[in-house]
Amino acid sequence: MMVQGNTVSAMGPYKGLKELRRIVIDCMKNIHPVYHIKELMIKRELANDPKLANESWDRFLPKFRKQSSKPLKRSKKADGEGAKPKKSEKKKKTYTPFPPAQTPRKVDLQLESGEYFLRPAEKAAREMARKEREQAEKTERKRVERAKVFKAPKEETEKKKKRKRTESIEEA
């Protein structure tokens, strides 16, 4: 056997050429020939054993599974079916050679607001006040939502009464 690029030349018995053809085709499908060589070596050993000559050799042959490569899916265009509509193209951002401005550190923000110079007790008091404000807002929102459930739906009693009166007048 001789391989040069995508061209293969081989000589030998017909049975050997059939096996070689299968190996070469799988090579072109990106399957390593070592798998086939192992299989051929095992088959050669099993052929020498007269007890196993008439049995199936499948249990002795290795079963290799694909690890991560999946078969390529054919596109609908290749099949001749209608293609999916294209998504709107994203607008390209203008290129700027300068990096974005650096975000300020936590300490810098505290210095700006004057919070950095407060005593720990004052900081804790501010934090507690902020949390209480947020909690009060949240409880108010939840109370309003719960009250919506108990609100009675609008009834159209006036129209019903008028209909009954008109019906009773017509009957008389």
**What are the pLDDT digits (tens) for 115-159?**
888 888 998 998 999 999 999 999 999 999 999 888 888 877 666
Q: Could you tell me if 42 and 60 are in contact, meaning their C-beta atoms sit under 8 angstroms apart?
A: yes
Domain membership of residue 163 (yes or no) is no
- Give DSSP secondary structure letters for 119-166: -HHHHHHHHHHHHHHHHHHHHHHHHHHHHHHHSPPP--HHHHHHHHHH
| Number of domains the chain contains | 2
In this structure, what token pair is assigned to residue 137? 């807002």
Question: Does residue 14 lie within any of the structural domains?
Answer: yes
Residue 41 lies in a domain: yes
Between CA 144 and CA 150 the distance in angstroms is 10
Task: Please indicate, yes or no, whether the overall pTM of this predicted structure exceeds 0.75.
Answer: no
List Cβ neighbours of 57 (8 Å cut-off, separation of 6 or more): 42, 43, 46
Instruction: Tell me if 57 is assigned to some domain.
Output: no
Q: What is the pLDDT of residues 30-44, one digit of tens each?
A: 888 888 888 888 888
- pLDDT attached to residue 138: 97
- Residue 157 forms part of a structural domain: no
Q: How many CA atoms, within 13 angstroms, populate the side-chain half-sphere of residue 23?
A: 19
Q: Which residue has the higher pLDDT, 68 or 40?
A: 40
Question: Is residue 73 one of the residues assigned to a domain?
Answer: no
Dig out the tokens for 115 from the structure: 């919070």
Range of the domain at 26: 2-48
CA distance 8 to 6: 7
Residue 13 lies in a domain: yes
Q: Is 18 within a domain?
A: yes
CATH number of the domain at 25, please: 3.30.1370.10
